[in-house]
Structure formats: C-alpha cells, structure tokens
C-alpha cells in the first residue's frame, strides 16, 4: 500500500498538527511570562500583539479540530472554504509573529542600552569613590603627590608580568588583575586612623609610635571587610581586604602585622609590597630624599627572597624600565 492510498494519513497529519499547535500555545504562554519581565514597562503595543498572537494560535487549534471532525464525518463541501481560511490566518499569523519579534527585540534593545549605561555609570561611580576614599590620606598630607596613581600602575604591570608565568597563568586572569589594580589605591586607607602627630612627625618614630602606624593594616582591612559584608555579590573588596591587611608582610616572615611568610602572604599583598616600596624609594619625604631608579632597583634586587617574593622581583627586573617611565611621568 502506497502513502497516497493510506486512509489514515490525513487523520494522523491533522492530529499531529493539533498536538503541535497545543504545544505552541503552552510554550508561547511561558515565553510571554519571561518576555514581560524583560520588556520596558507599560508597553501596551507588545501586550496587545501577544494577545492577538495567542488568539490566532487558539483559532488554528480550533481549525485543526474542525477539519478533523469534517474528515471523520466525511463532509467534503467546506474543504475549499477551510483552505482559504487557513491561508488567510496563516499569512496573518506569520506577519504578526514578525511584528511581535521586532517589537519585542526593539524593546529589549532599549532596555539593554539603558542597563549598559547604568552599569557604566555605576563603574565610574565605583572608581571615583575608590579614589575619593584613597585621596583622604593625600588630603591629610600623608602621601606624596600621585603615589596612589603610580602604585596602581605598578601593581597592574607586576600582575600582568606574573600572569605570563605558567605558575600564575590560571590564577592571574584578567578579572583578578583588574580587581587588584582597583584595590591598590586603598592599600593605606587605614592610615586615616593614625594621629597626625605621628604621621607628620619629621623625625624617626619611637617604637610605640611605630606600633600605632602598624595598626593601619588591620584598621583598613576591617573597614573594607565591613563594606564588603554589605554586598550580596562577589566584589573586588575581598581582594582589597587581603591586600590592605598584608601589604607590609615580608617574604622572610619579618613583616607586620601577622608575620606571615612566603606564599601564606596573599598574592595581592606581595605584589603591593614591591609597588609600595619602589614608590617610597623614588619619592621625597621630609626625612629622606628620593633615590634614583637604578638605586631603587638595586635595593629591590637585594631584597629578593627577603622582603619580596622572588617571582615578583624577577618580573620587576624584566619590566623595570616601565616603572621608571611611570615614576617620571607621574612625578609629584
């Protein structure tokens, strides 16, 4: 028996078509629920199109049922009329689908653009807030000139250099590098709790005064930890807390506040330590004159495996000319 001779074929086709249309109605209702959450509010045009689209699918479904009924009952006379109705609604259905898709996409695009703009504004606000916080120290005369900007550049250069080493490649991804660069300006935020009488003292600090200075690591970390605790997502502040708490630790374990050694010091703190010291060596203070780039490089090389992580010193040695350019370009 050929397919043309199969008397069940029309029944099967109509029934399958009806089942598919029923699935379309259910899926379309789900799609509308999702789309409504993403559309611009009060978009009556799209709501109307959704309603019409759904109604047409219901009409189609009803049409399949009627045709199936006619087939069972052997009614032939209405065949041409139903074909005409089918073509008419089919064309309307296709047009409506395209208009609906276009309107929905346009609305989502507008929404997307506004989210993108809000996101950019939020990132800029975040950046300005970080620098405003960090510049508090500068306003109090605790840091020289552009120390904050320079150290952020140094941190990025070191992190990028380290990321090329196989050992760090999987860890130092671009997001992590961006986060430690963002954290760098906050490294001395805890200094705001140290009295001016100590910070602005022209001479050498007494051991008691130095103990107070040392508290800036924990004070700064506590401040940022509190801020981070108020966020419901993973922010750069987690890395900032580690960096602030550990930027005065030394590879040989003789740093402060916890006396951590080698890789137990967070990587962000190890990177910041070198950036901070290079900048301090290259800056003028009331109690000391700046050193030349070459002298600073010699001191850093000497501290390899003592104050600094040997890998980070290795990276520094390979890119020290860039440090020199920044120290000259952002002098002050």
Q: Is 188 in the site for Fe ion (CB under 5 A)?
A: yes
CB 246, min distance to Fe ion, A: 10
Stretch that binds Fe ion, among 17-25, 139-147, 185-193, 287-295 (CB under 5 A): 185-193
CB 216, min distance to Fe ion, A: 6
The residues near 191 (Cβ < 8 Å, ≥ 6 apart) are 137, 142, 199, 213, 216, 220
**CB–CB of 272/152 below 8 Å?**
no
CB 223, min distance to Fe ion, A: 14
CB 272, min distance to Fe ion, A: 8
**Cα separation of the two ends of the chain:** 95
Q: Can you tell me the distance from the alpha carbon of 309 to that of 264, in angstroms, rounded to the nearest whole number? A: 11
Q: Respond yes or no on whether the N-terminal peptide bond of residue 110 is cis (omega within 30° of 0).
A: no
**CB–CB of 55/29 below 8 Å?**
no
Q: Can you tell me the distance from the alpha carbon of 240 to that of 235, in angstroms, rounded to the nearest whole number? A: 9
Stretch that binds Fe ion, among 62-70, 157-165, 183-191, 281-289 (CB under 5 A): 183-191
Q: Which is nearer to Fe ion, 142 or 319 (CB)?
A: 142
**CB–CB of 188/220 below 8 Å?**
yes
Q: Is 279 in the site for Fe ion (CB under 5 A)?
A: no
Q: Can you tell me the distance from the alpha carbon of 61 to that of 58, in angstroms, rounded to the nearest whole number? A: 5
Q: Which is nearer to Fe ion, 21 or 273 (CB)?
A: 273
Nearest C-alpha neighbor of 277 from the set 238, 306, 241: 306
Residue number of the CB closest to Fe ion reads 188
Residues 54-73 that bind Fe ion (CB under 5 A): none
Q: Which is nearer to Fe ion, 204 or 230 (CB)?
A: 204
Stretch that binds Fe ion, among 55-63, 64-72, 180-188, 198-206 (CB under 5 A): 180-188
CB 303, min distance to Fe ion, A: 16
CB 263, min distance to Fe ion, A: 21
Residues 225-264 that bind Fe ion (CB under 5 A): none
Residues 109-138 that bind Fe ion (CB under 5 A): none
User: Total residues at the site for Fe ion (CB under 5 A)?
Assistant: 1
CB 255, min distance to Fe ion, A: 11
Stretch that binds Fe ion, among 30-38, 169-177, 184-192, 262-270 (CB under 5 A): 184-192
**CB–CB of 127/179 below 8 Å?**
no
Nearest C-alpha neighbor of 144 from the set 283, 326, 287: 283
3-state class (DSSP) for residue 288: strand
- The contact set with Fe ion (CB under 5 A) reads 188
């Amino acid at each position: 028996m050929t397919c043309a001779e199969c008397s069940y074929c029309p029944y099967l086709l109509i029934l399958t078509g009806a089942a598919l249309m029923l699935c379309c109605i259910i899926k379309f209702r789900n799609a509308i629920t999702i789309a409504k959450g993403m559309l611009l509010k009060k978009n009556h045009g799209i709501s109307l199109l959704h309603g019409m689209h759904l109604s047409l699918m219901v009409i189609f479904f009803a049409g399949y049922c009627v045709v199936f009924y006619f087939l069972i009952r052997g009614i032939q006379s209405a065949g041409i009329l139903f074909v005409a109705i089918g073509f008419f609604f089919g064309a309307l259905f296709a047009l409506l689908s395209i208009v609906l898709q276009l309107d929905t996409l346009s609305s989502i695009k507008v929404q997307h653009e506004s989210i993108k703009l809000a996101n950019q504004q939020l990132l800029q606000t975040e950046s300005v807030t970080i620098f405003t916080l960090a510049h508090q120290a500068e306003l109090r005369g605790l840091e020289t000139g552009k120390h904050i900007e320079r150290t952020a550049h140094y941190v990025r250069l070191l992190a990028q250099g380290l990321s090329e080493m196989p050992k760090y490649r999987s860890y130092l991804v671009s997001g992590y590098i961006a986060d430690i660069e963002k954290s760098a300006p906050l490294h001395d935020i805890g200094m705001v709790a140290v009295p001016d009488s100590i910070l602005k003292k022209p001479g050498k600090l007494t051991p008691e005064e130095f103990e107070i200075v040392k508290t800036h690591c924990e004070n700064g970390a506590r401040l940022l930890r509190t801020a981070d605790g108020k966020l419901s997502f993973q922010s750069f502040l987690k890395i900032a807390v580690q960096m602030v708490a550990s930027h005065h630790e030394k590879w040989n374990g003789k740093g402060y506040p916890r006396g951590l050694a080698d890789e137990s010091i967070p990587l962000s703190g190890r990177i910041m330590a070198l950036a901070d010291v290079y900048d301090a060596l290259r800056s003028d203070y009331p109690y000391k004159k700046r050193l030349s780039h070459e002298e600073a490089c010699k001191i850093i090389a000497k501290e390899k495996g003592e104050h600094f992580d040997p890998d980070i010193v290795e990276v520094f040695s390979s890119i020290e000319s860039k440090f020199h350019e920044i120290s000259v370009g952002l002098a002050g």
